[in-house]
Structure 1
Amino acid sequence: MSTRTRWGVGATALVAVVALFAITAARVQDPNPEPAVMALERGERQESLQLGVTVFSMWRDWEFLDELLDRARDSGSPWLRVDMGWCTLEERGRGVVSEWYQSRLDATVAGAAARGLQLLVAVGCTPTWAGGTSYDSLPPDPSEYERVTRYLAERYRGQVAAWEIWNEPDCIGGCPDGSPEEFVPTLQAGYRGIKAGDPDATVVSGGISGTNADWIARMYAAGARGYFDALAVHPYQNPADAPPDAPPTERIYRLTSLPSVRHVMVENGDADVPIWFTEFGWTTADSGDRPGVDEPTQAAYLRQAVEQVQRDNPYVTHAFWFTMRDRDDWTPYENEFGLLHVDGSEKPAYGALGEANAWLEEQ
């Protein structure tokens, strides 16, 4: 899914290795890896997958915050993801905090804590005064991003469990044209800032659109290793109605392509680093240029995806459904990923999320 204007301004490991050959010919690999290597790449699950949901509490969901937090809690999901815009937090200048905007994050943090939800906050959008030219442009001076992430981590120390550095950086200028080489300085700055403000917080790399192992390999080559505690991807499907177990073929937008990402991580010494899905889901759009699935199928795919990842991808520890509530301000494809309709009524997928959480507790 391409990066959205939402910052407050408004099948096996072997198949995966072969797929990785096709996109990263510069790296020479043994086409028949030893069983021990394949076992390392697969890993062992230490605990059940943890699920979360995305709520746009900083902008379009603000007036429904309490209701949506209740729905998140009642689904049995232990995590909540929100995104915030640096460009709105400091819209008037360096160090000049917009109190109205910060108060929304305060309320989100307090509301999540009151309901026993752990919080992941994604921070992106460079202010114009810091050289931002679009809502997703990276800061020309990463030290400014380091400063603001340190401020946020200090303010919410012990209250925000995880911070995500940007959103879909591979989509800046169009997916997958964003430069990993340009993103890494921001990732490094964000990591330094967060760890200075709250050493115990988890730093998550900006989730990329799809499972693009080549992009991740370039990110590592640019110096990303050591600057994230979890690597994030957004394993959406293409076409949009493809089931969770659709074969990887040459597509990066396939959940089954995930082992190629894991291969790159192991190759780069990060076998102990987990993968987080900071977004995943299926749209119920029945019009537009990217129609999805009907509502019962959305629910079925949610359950199937959770079971598939729990079984086949033990290195994935967290997965956040995108989103809690439908939108009405973008394309049909983008608008209808919700577990709830715009009016708050439930889709079958909301109940499926509760069932998935209950199933995971038994694993």
Structure 2
Amino acid sequence: MSRRTFVVSAAGAALATPATTARKAPSTTPFTPDRTADTTTPPVLGVPFPGTGDGYWQDGRPSPALHRDLDTLRAYGVGVVRVDVSWHRSQPEDSAPGAGHPYNQRLAGVLDAAAERRIAVLVTLHESPLWTRNGAAPRGPHARFPDDPDTIRPWAKWLAATYGDRVLAWEVWCEPNQPATTGVLAPAERTTRYAALLRACAAGLRSVPDPAPVVLGGPCHTDHRFVRDIYAAGGRDHFDVLALRPRLDGRAPDAWSEEAPGIDRVTNFPAVAEAMRAYRDGDKPVWWTEFGFAPQSAEETPRGLHEPAEATRLLVRSFELARLRYPQVRLAVISTVPWPLRPQLPGLRDYFAAHPGTRPLL
């Protein structure tokens, strides 16, 4: 199997292309990470980018804002953007998906625009089509697991064959530990169904030569219990990167606080690492695929968590925490309210300028 070697500088200044473009026989073995770069630098800086959303497209063409915002992110040293891709919108009917579908053309447009700026794209797959769920209401939510997990495999295989050589990695689902994003209330059932979905989706994504890495769908918070349960359900061999989505909230504004960490704290990461080691998977890279501030209530807003200076301070503290204590964390995709993230980017650029070097993404 050929090895992709994406290594981004801490400030996102350079993105290496895949180490080889030679196509070999298909392989279903897990992705082999490159660990040659320095891990004493901060995680690579990423941001979520709603590039497939309606706000960036007009009459099937990208709006000037799409290119302008990507230029802004590049100028501030962002090396990775995370882009959501809806299965429901990509394959709305029970027929073969096509690159000519307007929604899929959006994905291609975002990948091309990011590549022009040497920004890597992490794609998050989520939302099931109506045809995969018996009795689903036409106007009901699409953030639901399909009834049969194997229905995602052909779409995943098509995605990998069509766009895989332009994608950094595929994150399978959005916060699969939450009822709102899965449609499943019982935690044990959520784990079982997600493990089956991950297995089927990974098989499709890995069915092409030189597949892009598969990322465990980041659970909301630093949820070691969900991670442990996915391993117990046999998920270990079906992802190459473990993702988390930590939050900074009003109860724990200081990322360095280790008092009763709990799953809602960044400092709960050692519990996740312990769960990984328990299943002989302790060397696998970890990405924070959404990391920042949860929406605050009206009474918490005056505490200043969304003020640019305070938000920047807390984000920098968290990057520093990962730099010094969590070398396993290779990527941190920041998310603050509101989008875009320009108020925090200048301070983060200064922080990364003070910590030059490279950290391997994989």
Give the TM-score taking structure 1 as reference length.
0.77
1:290-309 matches, within 5 Å, as 291=301, 293=305, 294-309=307-322
Distance change >3 Å, CA 300–CA 83, structure 1 → 2: same
1:219-238 matches, within 5 Å, as 219-238=230-249
User: Whole-Å Cα distance in 2 between the matches of residues 289 and 171 of structure 1?
Assistant: 25
Please list the CA deviations of residues 150-196 of structure 1 after superposition, one character each: whole Å capped at 9, or x if unmatched.
Answer: 11111013211100000100012489955211100111111111111
The one-letter code sitting in structure 2 at the alignment partner of 1:120 is: L
C-alpha displacement at 1:111, in angstroms? 0.5
Preserved CA contact (<8 Å) 1:281 1:337: no
Aligned to 1:111: 113
CA RMSD, 1 decimal:
2.4
User: Whole-Å Cα distance in 2 between the matches of residues 191 and 47 of structure 1?
Assistant: 31
Aligned to 2:292: 281
The one-letter code sitting in structure 2 at the alignment partner of 1:215 is: F
Distance change >3 Å, CA 154–CA 96, structure 1 → 2: closer
Between 236-245 and 125-134, report the one with greater CA deviation: 236-245
The one-letter code sitting in structure 1 at the alignment partner of 2:94 is: G
Which blocks of at least 5 consecutive residues in structure 1 are unaligned?
A: 1-43, 324-335, 341-345
C-alpha displacement at 1:355, in angstroms? 2.0
The one-letter code sitting in structure 1 at the alignment partner of 2:351 is: A
Aligned to 2:46: 52
Aligned to 1:73: 74
C-alpha displacement at 1:360, in angstroms? 3.6
Structure richer in helix, relative to its length: 1
Pick aligned residue for 1:164 from 158, 163, 171 = 171
The one-letter code sitting in structure 1 at the alignment partner of 2:112 is: A
Preserved CA contact (<8 Å) 1:339 1:350: no
The one-letter code sitting in structure 1 at the alignment partner of 2:352 is: N
Pick aligned residue for 2:128 from 126, 129, 133 = 126
Please list the CA deviations of residues 306-346 of structure 1 after superposition, one character each: whole Å capped at 9, or x if unmatched.
Answer: 111111101111111125xxxxxxxxxxxx24353xxxxx4
User: Whole-Å Cα distance in 2 between the matches of residues 256 and 208 of structure 1?
Assistant: 15
Which blocks of at least 5 consecutive residues in structure 2 are unaligned?
A: 1-36, 57-62
In the alignment of these two chains, the number of paired residues is: 301
Matched position secondary structure for 2:247: coil
Preserved CA contact (<8 Å) 1:158 1:198: no
Matched position secondary structure for 2:166: coil
Aligned to 2:143: 136
User: Whole-Å Cα distance in 2 between the matches of residues 112 and 174 of structure 1?
Assistant: 27
2:279 is aligned with 1:268? yes
Which structure has the higher relative contact order (CA within 8 Å, separation 6+)? 2
Matched position secondary structure for 2:352: helix
Distance change >3 Å, CA 240–CA 159, structure 1 → 2: farther
Preserved CA contact (<8 Å) 1:208 1:234: yes
Distance change >3 Å, CA 139–CA 75, structure 1 → 2: same
Preserved CA contact (<8 Å) 1:131 1:140: yes
Preserved CA contact (<8 Å) 1:246 1:256: yes
Please list the CA deviations of residues 34-67 of structure 1 after superposition, one character each: whole Å capped at 9, or x if unmatched.
Answer: xxxxxxxxxx964632111111111154242111
The one-letter code sitting in structure 1 at the alignment partner of 2:248 is: Q
C-alpha displacement at 1:109, in angstroms? 0.3
Aligned to 1:154: 161
